[in-house]
Copies of this chain bind each other. A is one copy, B any other.
Amino acid sequence: MPRTIFEKPDAIALVAEVFRELGYEGASMSNITARTKLSKGSLYHFFPGGKEQMAAEIIAHIDAWFVVDMFKPLEEGEPRAAIRTMWETADRYFRSGRRICLIGAFALDETRDRFAMAIRSYFQRWIEALAGALTRAGLTGIEAQALAEEAVVGLQGALMLARALGDEAVFGRILERLKQRLETALG
């Protein structure tokens, strides 16, 4: 029997996609082994804490990715350029609406309670990073906060609607309008 050797970063990425497709409860160990080709031995070797640890590490992994690729640029870069880049980054990350936001999905059911802190801080930092960039670009704090909330909310809603309608085009269309609205507000 041929053996495939995985390393932990691979395992995290593979299991993450299964959680994304099936949700936390829907992703059973047998589902995970079947879709990732990782055996139970491997999975419990990497994640002795089982499903809960898998999900926790996946959330941390996603969060770290967003910090580096979206939040830091918004917090530290030239605000208008960073905001423009944010839309491209989001479109790439969410594969133009074919991929959902796992952290958002976890927020909807009782899975949220297991990871409440991580989920809250992910959205909080996203909104704060974007609001900060909008403020540095000249908006008042109140306007910036409201626009940032709307942008994040609109993006999450767009992911949901794209899947609900089975229509990828709607995602790009809504993203484009959200982008336009921020640029209009900045004048």
Which A residues have a C-beta under 8 Å from some C-beta of B?
Answer: 21-26, 100, 103-105, 107-112, 116, 119-120, 122-124, 146, 149-150, 152-161, 163-166, 170, 173-174, 177
Contacts and interface: CB of A to CB of B under 8 A. Distances in A.
B166 A116 contact: yes
Given A124-B165, A160-B104, A161-B152, A21 B174 contact: no
Contacts of A124: 165
Contacts of A23: 23, 25-26, 108-111
A164 B104 contact: yes
Contact of A164 (B120, B161, B173): B120
Given A22-B109, A23-B109, A108-B105, A123 B164 contact: yes
Chain A contact residues, majority secondary structure: helix
Contact of A153 (B104, B122, B161): B161
A21 B25 CA distance: 12
User: Which of A22, A24, A25, A112 has its CB near the most chain B CB atoms (within 10 A)?
Assistant: A25
Contacts of A100: 108
Nearest to A145: B173
Given A150-B174, A154-B153, A160 B25 contact: no
A166 B128 CA distance: 16
B164 A157 contact: no
